[in-house]
Copies of this chain bind each other. A is one copy, B any other.
């Protein structure tokens, strides 16, 4: 029976998890920790946590949710695991899973007794921070898990809470997770970043022209660059921990754009639109 939860990293996702727990009826204690004291205080003021905690509060909780960038997750895993016991659970929300999965496996091999369940909710916003936290953020979203061991009680209970947040869950192989996410999540992010950066280079030196171009571009331009607002701090860790799969999708898109460019006045363009229409016609 989970009676206390520590949320490490009370940014957008961490704060939303605290709020979602409360809305779903969790009445145990929620402790929030963040390297930025402001963020933890904001999460408390929003009701996502009961109090701001220290490291020594974290490892005593029944469940620890690591809601920080991937490389920081690896760091916390290494520090927390030896302190915790077999009735506790460490889970995370990191964007890549293979390195975390492999570290969990390796910690288990070293007779660490705490149980760990790598996870990844496919939800977010282009801007971060506790103040954007939202109890409904996970409604209808997919929450992926890449289990490293057999399911047990505390894990089962955590999965139930996630379902009560309104999320659907799916288990995946960790390597497969990282490849799929390179295609459907990391590539769209990097394309939006590259496009927004290119526009800034092209038009940014003339603010009036930049403003005019945004007005002219309208919805299509806004949508295709929205993720350009995403923070480097999180995506650096994705790029570091999923470099090869991400580079492969970027290279594939570069070739695809070249093909389209060379075929602008040929029937090849029709074929690209046919395929794109077919993709969008899927449910």
Q: Tally chain A residues at the interface, Cβ within 8 Å.
A: 86
| Complex Cα–Cα for A250 and B200 (A) | 16
- Which of A29-37, A73-81, A108-116, A186-194 binds B? A186-194
Contacts of A270 in B (CB 8 A): 232, 236
Residue on B nearest A196 in the bound complex, by CB = B276
User: Does A153 make an interface contact (CB < 8 A)?
Assistant: no
| Complex Cα–Cα for A189 and B272 (A) | 12
User: Does A207 make an interface contact (CB < 8 A)?
Assistant: yes
Are B264 and A239 touching (Cβ within 8 A)?
A: yes
| Complex Cα–Cα for A113 and B65 (A) | 74
Are B200 and A195 touching (Cβ within 8 A)?
A: no
What is the minimal beta-carbon distance from A228 to any residue of chain B, in angstroms? Answer: 4
User: Does A251 make an interface contact (CB < 8 A)?
Assistant: yes
Residue among A122, A217, A257 with max Cβ neighbours from chain B (10 Å)? A257
Q: Contacts A141-B218, A240-B265, A251-B261; is A183 near B170 (CB within 8 Å)?
A: no
Are B246 and A197 touching (Cβ within 8 A)?
A: no
Q: A194-B260, A197-B272, A239-B265 are in contact. List 13 more A-B contacts (CB 8 A).
A: A142-B215, A144-B216, A180-B216, A181-B216, A187-B195, A188-B221, A196-B276, A196-B280, A210-B282, A224-B227, A225-B276, A254-B254, A254-B258
A interface list, Cβ under 8 A from B: 122-123, 126, 141-142, 144, 168, 170, 180-181, 183-185, 187-202, 204, 207, 210-218, 220-221, 223-232, 235-236, 239-240, 243, 246-247, 250-254, 256-258, 260-261, 264-265, 269-283
Q: Can you list 18 A-B contacts with CB-CB less than 8 angstroms, sorted by A residue number?
A: A126-B280, A142-B216, A183-B213, A184-B217, A184-B220, A185-B216, A185-B218, A193-B273, A196-B275, A197-B276, A201-B275, A204-B279, A204-B282, A231-B273, A239-B264, A239-B265, A246-B261, A251-B261
